[in-house]
Amino acid sequence: MSTIKGISQTEVAYDGSSLRVAIVHARWNRVIIDALVSGAVAKLKERGVKESNIVIQSVPGSFELPFACQKVIAGSHVQAGANVTDLLGGLNIGSNSPNPASRSGTPAPVPVVAIPSGPFDAVIAIGVLIKGSTMHFEYICESVSHALMRVQLDTGVPVIFGVLTVLNDQQALERAGLGEGGNKGHNHGEDWGLAAVEMASQTRRWGEGKFV
Ligand code: DLZ
């Protein structure tokens, strides 16, 4: 049966080759999680994001996702700054330790200081919440979705909402492309990978005042 539901594809093929993306995933309902993470990674790579620029971290459950996303974003800024500092520190600039090059009277070669890792351009938060017989599901769905929204607004880094909030196992399987019987469903992780590249690219452009 046809449906009007779903995202329309953008006409722009966003280039992810200069982007750095983190995936933070929960470990509850692991079979579904693994398929969603694989789907997201596949689309990130398809858009050109380098494997070395995809960082995957895990947390116990979905409730931990917002805190972890916030810390991972902050840590990537520290890391980006630390790379330069560490490299300069490694050259003993401004320190009293002996420098063999200066002792010989030959100027030390000017090093090429490469920054291997910049801050994350987007984070994909992936979790699978399956409704049980108590109110637990409602509380976690509500708080996690609000908190993930807050993280992206507070940090200015797009956080992709990769949290399935489903009523049963079958719904979860179908949203990971693992449905049983005739309906395999669709792997939503793929959509989240594409959304991350689009939002990261657009965030850079918008930040530069570019709207065309
Ligand atoms: C406790 C719990 C339950 C019952 N169900 C889920 C779930 O379906 N999906 C999920 O990601 N996490 C679940 N958790 C774990 C909580 O998210 C959290 O990890 C714990 O309450 C510890 O803070």
Cβ(122)–Cβ(158) under 8 Å?
Answer: yes
Q: Provide the angle, in degrees to the nearest 10, between the axes of the packed helices 136-155 and 65-90.
A: 40
Helix (H) or strand (E) holding 59: strand 54-59
Q: Strand, helix or coil at 77? A: helix
Residue 99 CB coordination number (10 Å): 13
Q: Does the active-site annotation cover 136? A: yes
**Predicted TM-score (pTM) of this structure:** 0.86
Radius of gyration, CA atoms only, the chain? 21
If you average pLDDT over every residue of the chain, what do you get? 88
Ligand 1 centroid–CA 194 distance in Å is 27
Cβ(36)–Cβ(69) under 8 Å?
Answer: no
Q: Which atom of ligand 1 is nearest to the CA of 63?
A: 17
**In the chain, what are the domains?**
21-78+117-200 (3.40.50.960)
Q: What's the CA gap between 126 and 164, in Å, rounded? A: 8
Closest by CA to 171, choosing from 1, 29, 66, 4, is 29
Ligand 1 centroid–CA 145 distance in Å is 14
The per-residue pLDDT for 117 is 73
The model's pLDDT over 82-141, given as tens digits with 9 standing for 90+, comes to 765 554 554 444 444 444 444 556 666 666 555 557 999 999 999 999 999 999 999 999
